[in-house]
Amino acid sequence: MVKTLTSNQQGGWQLRDNKRTPAGNLTNNLLYANAASTEQTTDGIDILSNGFKFRNTAGDNNASGRKYAFFAFAQNPFTSSTGTPVTAR
């Protein structure tokens, strides 16, 4: 979940996950938590084992000089169920 906190460009909460575009690390699809719109396709992010990386500099999620709030939840936080360290998907 990502949201810009810059007062003059307040955007919506963007929700992205690894289920909408499950091939590789790139995730293009998103939902807005505070809108009634349907799923949208936009510039992607890479979902990594230790976080995420934006592939663009759009104002809603990665513009220079803006502040953002985000929440990220790991599928396997540090190790797998067998105790081995996790790697990027």
- pTM for the whole structure: 0.65
- The answer, yes or no, to whether residue 89 has pLDDT greater than 60, is no
| Tens digit of each residue's pLDDT (9 = 90 or more) over 7-56 | 665 668 888 887 776 666 677 788 888 877 778 877 778 887 777 888 87
Residue 78 lies in a domain: no
Residue 87 lies in a domain: no
Residue 82 lies in a domain: no
Residue 54 lies in a domain: yes
Residue 89 vs residues 4, 26, 42, 68: alpha-carbon distances, Å: 27, 10, 21, 25
pLDDT at 25: 64
pLDDT at 84: 76
Residues 37 and 69: their CA atoms lie apart, in Å, by 21
Residue 88: burial class (beta carbons within 10 Å; 0-12, 13-18, 19+)? exposed
Residue 89 lies in a domain: no
Give the residue numbers spanning the domain of 56. 2-70
Residue 53 lies in a domain: yes
Residues 42 and 28: their CA atoms lie apart, in Å, by 5
Residue 15 lies in a domain: yes
Residue 27 lies in a domain: yes
Number of domains in the chain: 1
